[in-house]
Amino acid sequence: MSEKITIYDIAKKLNITAATVSRALNNNPKIKESTRELVIKTAASMNYKQNKLALALKSGRSNNIGVIVPRIDSNFFASVIRGIEEELHPHGYQVIICQTHEDPKRENENLYTLIDAQVDGILMSVTDITNENTGAFHYVLEKNVPLIFFDRSKHIDGVSSVTINDFKGGYITTKHLIDEGCKSIAHFSGDQSLEIFKSRFLGYKQALLDNGITFNEEYVIRTKSSVESGKEAVNALLQLKTPPDAIFSSSDFAALGAIQELKDKNISIPKEFCVAGFSNEPFTKFMELSITSVDQSPLEMGKMSARVFLEQVDKTDTIKIEKKVVLAPELHIRKSSSRSTI
């Protein structure tokens, strides 16, 4: 049943050689038009399909690209992947996805596996920037496989990245809270070994300074990206001698947790307390008390990463162009921080 037919089968049928068949199918100009047509026609009639694996082995290119993310079931990463897939699909690339679950070991393992599987490029979001074991990354670079970071990046020579301006995201959000009349603004931060969280924090801090508000170390709390974590954090804040009157959270989930807890304590939002999140998760705009949040345009980020990859691939120049694309964050102001419109 369904035996694989190769260019040899076509060649035998037409009494020509496999090389001619190959050239005919690849539109090589050295082939006479009439034979080309004949080959193409009989190839079709014999239901010939090119063996991609053989081609990959011969050419060394698999037409696969690898994408590594912490996890795929998050709106942000799923959207980025969608962008990547949509941009690369027309170019004949298939997308292989890997998850790290925030584990540097898994990250390394995925990198090695992808390279060993001969992918033509790797697009990834780093899990832990402090991980000094950059062996896997250099393994990628040695093999001359384009490597592109998106969102969570790491400074490595010759590696391009597509990120958003997290500093600005933190800045404009904090500024917005100040403009709404908030006097003491707290901050929920993620793991600051990741540059995105560091930058959001610095943007927050700078906005405070620029507006004459003294920075208070006590107001910065390390949270995880979960509702529960947000609840715990806001409770810690409320037990301070001088609790804040606003929160800029690096996570929409933590922001939601804070809001739920504040409501439980009958603290009115946004009148007494304002909250803003980050990522523009779908639920933030669905809530009755919709949540102000920073949009990271994940779809665009994915497409842009893919485009950077396309520029990079095929450039066999040893002079790698290191491209740094920085997208602009967009603050979506909603009820959780809109005192003016009430």
Partner DNA sequence: TGTTACATTGCAAACGTTTGAGATATAAAT
Partner DNA sequence: ATTTATATCTCAAACGTTTGCAATGTAACA
Which residues form the interface with DNA (CB under 7 A)? Answer: 4, 6-8, 15-20, 22-23, 25-26, 30-35, 48-51, 54-55, 57-60
For its own copies, give the closer residue by CB, 99 or 165. Answer: 99
Contacted entry of its own copies, DNA, none for residue 325, CB cut-off 5 to 8 Å set by kind: none
Contact 149, 322 (CB under 8 A): no
Question: 3-state DSSP call for residue 129?
Answer: coil
Contacted entry of its own copies, DNA, none for residue 79, CB cut-off 5 to 8 Å set by kind: its own copies
181 binds its own copies (CB under 8 A): no
Cα–Cα distance measured from residue 127 to residue 2, given in angstroms and rounded to the nearest whole number: 45
For DNA, give the closer residue by CB, 37 or 218. Answer: 37
Task: Tell me which DSSP letter residue 181 carries.
Answer: T
Contacted entry of its own copies, DNA, none for residue 234, CB cut-off 5 to 8 Å set by kind: none
34 binds its own copies (CB under 8 A): no
The DSSP annotation for 225-292 comes to: SSHHHHHHHHHHHHTSSS--SEEEES-HHHHHHHHHHHHHTT--TTTT-EEEEES--HHHHHSSS--E
The pair of three-digit structure tokens given for residue 252, joined into one six-digit string: 């929409």
Q: Which of 35, 42, 118, 184 binds its own copies (CB under 8 A)?
A: 118
Task: Please list, in sequence order, all residues whose beta carbon lies within 8 angstroms of the beta carbon of residue 319, skipping any fewer than 6 positions away.
Answer: none
Q: What share of the chain is helix, strand, coil (3-state, %, to 5)?
A: 45, 15, 40
Contact 145, 111 (CB under 8 A): no
User: Exposure pattern of 191-201 as b/e (b: 16+ CB <10 Å)?
Assistant: bbebbbbbbbb
How big is the CA angle at 291 (ends 286 and 294), to the nearest 5 degrees?
A: 110
Ranges within 248-287 binding its own copies (CB under 8 A):
256, 263, 282-283, 286-287
Give, in order, the Cα–Cα distances in Å from 333 to each of 27, 191, 219. 56, 25, 22
Cα–Cα distance measured from residue 234 to residue 186, given in angstroms and rounded to the nearest whole number: 9
Q: State in angstroms the smallest separation of the CB of 227 from its own copies.
A: 8
Task: Tell me which DSSP letter residue 329 carries.
Answer: P
Taking contact as CB under 8 A, which single stretch among the options 113-121, 150-158, 206-214, 265-273 is the one that binds its own copies?
113-121
16 binds its own copies (CB under 8 A): no
Taking contact as CB under 8 A, which single stretch among the options 69-77, 125-133, 153-161, 209-217 is the one that binds its own copies?
69-77
79 binds its own copies (CB under 8 A): yes
For DNA, give the closer residue by CB, 218 or 314. Answer: 314
81 binds its own copies (CB under 8 A): yes
Cα–Cα distance measured from residue 29 to residue 74, given in angstroms and rounded to the nearest whole number: 49
For DNA, give the closer residue by CB, 58 or 241. Answer: 58
96 binds its own copies (CB under 8 A): yes
57 binds its own copies (CB under 8 A): yes
Cα–Cα distance measured from residue 283 to residue 334, given in angstroms and rounded to the nearest whole number: 12
85 binds its own copies (CB under 8 A): yes
145 binds its own copies (CB under 8 A): no
Q: State in angstroms the smallest separation of the CB of 89 from its own copies.
A: 8
46 binds its own copies (CB under 8 A): no
Q: Which of 35, 42, 99, 338 binds its own copies (CB under 8 A)?
A: 99
Question: Which residues contact its own copies by CB under 8 A?
Answer: 1-2, 49-54, 56-57, 60, 62-64, 71-75, 78-79, 81-82, 85-86, 89, 94-99, 113-118, 142-144, 227, 256, 263, 282-283, 286-289, 299
